[in-house]
Amino acid sequence: MLTSLAGSGSGLVAARPFRSPHHSASMAALVGGGKQARPGEISLAHLGVLFLDELPEFNRQVLDSLRQPMETGRVEVARAAAHATYPARFQLIAAMNPCRCGHATDAALACGRLPHCMQDYMAKISGPLLDRFDLRLDVPQVALRAMLAEPHGETSAVVRERVLAAQARQAERNGSENGRPILNRQLDGDELLARAMPDARGRRLLERMVDKGGLTARGFNRVLRVSLTLADLGARTRPSEEDVACALMWRGLSPAGNPVARPDWQREQAV
C-alpha cells in the first residue's frame, strides 16, 4: 500500500525493502510530503533497511528530520491540504568517508587541512542523530593483496542461522505483538531494564562508564539492547561483561578497566 501511495509500484510486496536514496534527496523525498502528503523513503523502508551513503553530504536539516521517526517508528506528514501518519520502523545503515578528500587516515595522500577537514566533515552530523546509531565501526582500507587471497571467515548462511536462532530466543522471551515477535530493539523502560540488565561484572562495567559521563540516557538504553542481542547470539540468558564491553566499543566508547577479549565470531564481524 505504501508503494502505491508513493506512486512507485503496485501489488503485494513480499520481500523486505532496501532503500538507498541519493544524498541530494529533499526532506519531502526522505520523510514524506508534497501536495498530497505522500510517504517518503523512510516509510518505503518500513520493516526493511534505509541505507544512506555519503552521510555528511545530505542536508543537515534533512538528516535531523530522521530523529523522531527513529524513536517512534512512524512519521506524521502535515500539509495544508492533507495530514497523514505513515509507519517508518526501518533499520538505518549509513556510510561515510573520514573527511571530504577521503584520505584522512593516509598521511601520504591526505590534504593539508588535517585535522580541521575531519572536524568540519563530522560537524555536518548532529550529536543527537549520531547518538541514535547503535554501532559505529571504522572500516580500514583493504590491501590489494588481500583482495586476491582466498575468502576466509564465516559464510552469510552460517551468520543467518545464528541470527535466526537469536530472534527465536527474543520471541520466546519478549512475546509478540500484532502477530510479530517483539525484538530487542522494541524494548524500553522498565521492560528493557528487567530483561537486559547484565550480570554483576557487566553491571559494574556499565556503572563505571556512566560515572565517567560517557553515556547519555539514550546511549545507555542502546548499549543495553545491543548487549542483550549479543547475549542472544551467544545463547546466554543475560548479558555478560564481554557483551557490555563489545557494545561500548562498537559505540565508539572505551570500556573502563582492562580490555575484554571478544569471541571469535564477534572479532570477525568487527573487522
What span, in angstroms and rounded, lies between the C-alpha atoms of 101 and 112?
10
Q: What are phi and psi of 135, to 5 degrees?
A: -125, 135
* Confidence check: pLDDT of 44 > 90: yes
The per-residue pLDDT for range 218-270, each reduced to its tens digit, is 999 999 999 999 999 999 999 999 999 999 999 888 775 444 444 444 444 43
Confidence (pLDDT) at 4? 60
* Confidence check: pLDDT of 57 > 90: yes
The per-residue pLDDT for range 161-177, each reduced to its tens digit, is 999 999 999 999 999 88
If phi > 0 it is left, if psi is from -120 to 50 it is alpha, else beta; for residue 38 that is: beta
Q: What is the pTM of this model?
A: 0.83
Q: Please report the domains of the chain, with CATH numbers, ordered by start residue.
A: 1-96 (3.40.50.300), 158-270 (no CATH)
Kindly report which listed range (56-70, 99-113, 123-137, 206-220) carries the lowest average pLDDT score: 99-113
Grid cell in block for residue 53: 551513503
18: number of CA atoms within 13 Å, CB side? 4
Average pLDDT, the chain: 85
Distance of CA 5 to the CA centre of its chain: 27
Confidence (pLDDT) at 1? 57
* Confidence check: pLDDT of 36 > 50: yes
CB burial of residue 179 (10 Å; 0-12, 13-18, 19+): exposed
What span, in angstroms and rounded, lies between the C-alpha atoms of 47 and 217?
26
What span, in angstroms and rounded, lies between the C-alpha atoms of 30 and 165?
33
* Confidence check: pLDDT of 154 > 60: yes
Q: In what order do the strands lie in the sheet with 91-94?
A: 18-19, 49-52, 91-94
